[in-house]
Amino acid sequence: MNKPATPNSFRTGPDEQGMFGIFGGRFVAETLMPLILDLERHWNEVKNDADFRAELTDLSTHYAGRPSKLYFAEGLTKHLREVSSARGLAGGAKVYFKREDLNHTGSHKINNCLGQILLAKRMGKKRIIAETGAGQHGVASATVAARFGFPCVVYMGATDVARQSPNVFRMKLLGAEVRPVTAGHGTLKDAMNEALRDWVTNVEDTYYLIGTAAGPHPYPELVRDFQSVIGIEARAQILEQEGRLPDTIIAAVGGGSNAIGLFHPFLDDKEVRIIGIEAGGRGLDGIEHCASMNAGAPGVLHGNRTYLLQNSDGQIMDGHSISAGLDYPGVGPEHSWLRDSGRVEYVPILDDEALEAFKLTTRVEGIIPALESAHAIAHAVKIVPAMDKDQIVIVNLSGRGDKDVHTVASMLGMEI
């Protein structure tokens, strides 16, 4: 790709057509187009509406538990300083965790769901549908649907239903109907196809609550804005706690909503290095990974143009990750643009590296991170020992790992 000229600000996208450079857009069937335009109209009304903001802030505070803490991960910092010393470097940056795992429902997903359920209510919709990979977004959707009295259908790949059974049960307890999707590999991509098929069928009354900063415009923008509370808080918290901006911020990228939420408020802070972590799976040499920005090419899927894992005929590949939440062959369009513009680095972390970080964090911090978040921690483990002691790294701890204990146990050959 030609590298675009460096813009004055990285925070002005998308344009009126929903484009971030060549990425994004509205690649949907005509049946959905009027719905998306209607959504855009409502979104433009509410995004600067004081009443809407006040209602969302109130729910975020009293229902979801915001602001989430910015926690100095002293145990991990100490451990990585020992690693640094053992290498003769005597370094090791201070590591902070943005504790999205402490939110109600256990991940960052609630931020977006609260925003969108208020939008659905304003639009007079009667029914909520959602897709989910790890089940975190499914649980958050089922939660807000229960809270606001909407019936809710969650599409979930059959493979994910099997590997995320605790979340499936939570969704059912919350009154949602979980529909397993057997097409393809039975993962997030297939769940999203099926959710779109439901939406195109039930256009009158249904709100599609997309869980990540992807899909047709305006979803990438509105999900980003609802998730930007992560970065807005983190930026203010680090200024208060350390008196300065961090040197590096790191987040895992599947569709990329927790990452764009952390990154966006920092994009114009040129001194802050920003790193997104893709699922490297079993390695980028084969096809068992989900590193669309490192090993894919721009293409069109699920309503937007973005980096995709695909073959030379434009057929989408299934990919693989130990983490169901990162198991998606695409990525939100704004990440694709940030990649090509060079503002954000995107690097892969392998399944095994994420698993090690999962175990390490559990042991030295007493925090069980989601496998998604463990990818971001794994990259911190790699780079922090070579950094100076007076440097600061923020890792987005996007969710808690209780849902992953079955997966981890089977990876470790243990029975629970």
Partner 1 sequence: MATRIDRRMAKLRNEGRPALVTYFMGGDPDYDTSLSIMKALPGAGSDIIELGMPFSDPMADGPAIQAAGLRALKGGQTLAKTLKMAADFRAGDNETPIVLMGYYNPIYIYGVDRFLKDAIASGIDGLIVVDLPPEMDEELCIPALKAGINFIRLATPTTDDKRLPKVLQNTSGFVYYVSMTGITGSALADTGKVAAAVKRIKGHTDLPVCVGFGVKTAEQARVIGANADGVVVGTAIVNAVANVLGPKGEKTADPAEAVATLVSGLAQGVRSARLAAAE
| Distance in Å, CB of 30 to partner 1, minimum | 5
Stretch that binds partner 1, among 45-53, 150-158, 239-247, 295-303 (CB under 8 A): 295-303
Nearer to partner 1, 98 or 189 (CB): 189
Residues 6+ apart with CB under 8 A from 374: 323, 354, 355, 357, 358, 361, 401
Subset of residues 174 to 233 that bind partner 1, contact rule: CB under 8 A: 183-184, 189, 193, 196-197, 200-204
**Which C-beta is closer to partner 1: that of 234 or that of 301?**
301
Residue 50 corresponds to which amino acid? A
Based on the shown chain and the rule CB under 8 A, indicate whether residue 271 belongs to the binding site for partner 1.
no
Q: Tokens in use for 180?
A: 């397993």
| Cβ neighbourhood burial of 75 (10 Å; 0-12, 13-18, 19+) | middle
Contact 361, 62 (CB under 8 A): no
**Residue number with CB closer to partner 1 (27 or 148):** 27
CA distance 355 to 260: 23
126 binds partner 1 (CB under 8 A): no
Using CB under 8 A as the binding rule, whether residue 17 contacts partner 1 is answered as yes
- Minimum separation from the CB atom of position 337 to partner 1 (A): 17
| Active site (catalytic) residues | 109, 131, 398
Q: Which of residues 18-37 bind partner 1 (CB under 8 A)?
A: 25-35
- Residue closer to partner 1 (CB basis): 214 or 262: 214
Q: Is 163 in the site for partner 1 (CB under 8 A)?
A: no
Minimum distance of partner 1 from residue 130's CB (angstroms): 16
**Cβ neighbours around 310 below 10 Å, total:** 19
User: Toward partner 1, which CB reaches closer, 203 or 409?
Assistant: 203
Q: Which two tokens stand for residue 238?
A: 């680090």
User: Does 2 participate in binding partner 1 (rule CB under 8 A)?
Assistant: no
DSSP secondary-structure letter at 406?
Answer: H
Closest C-alpha among 132, 403, 111, 378 to residue 262: 111
Phi then psi for residue 231, to 5 deg, are -75, -35
| 84 or 193: CB nearest partner 1 | 193
3-state secondary structure of 345: strand
CB 114 within 8 A of CB 60: yes
Report the sign of the C-alpha dihedral through residues 283, 287, 289, 293, in that order.
positive
Rounded to the nearest whole angstrom, what is the least distance from the CB of residue 189 to partner 1 in the complex? 7
In the complex, minimum distance from the CB of residue 341 to partner 1, in angstroms, rounded to a whole number: 21
With DSSP H G I counted as helix, E B as strand and the rest as coil, what are the percentages for the chain, rounded to 5? 45, 20, 35
**Which residues inside 300-339 make contact with partner 1, applying CB under 8 A?**
300-303, 305, 308, 310, 312-316
Least spacing, CB of residue 225 vs partner 1, in Å: 21
Site residue total, partner 1 (CB under 8 A): 37
Cβ-based nearer residue to partner 1, 210 or 230:
210
> Per rule CB under 8 A, is residue 79 in the interface with partner 1?
no
Q: Tell me if 94 sits within 8 A of 74, measured CB to CB.
A: no
Q: Is the peptide bond before 14 cis (omega within 30 degrees of 0)?
A: yes
Residue 48 near partner 1 by CB under 8 A = no
To the nearest whole angstrom, how small is the minimum distance from the Cβ of residue 87 to partner 1? 45
Per the CB < 8 A criterion, the answer to whether 190 and 277 are in contact is: no
Binding site for partner 1 (CB under 8 A): 17, 25-35, 183-184, 189, 193, 196-197, 200-204, 297, 299-303, 305, 308, 310, 312-316
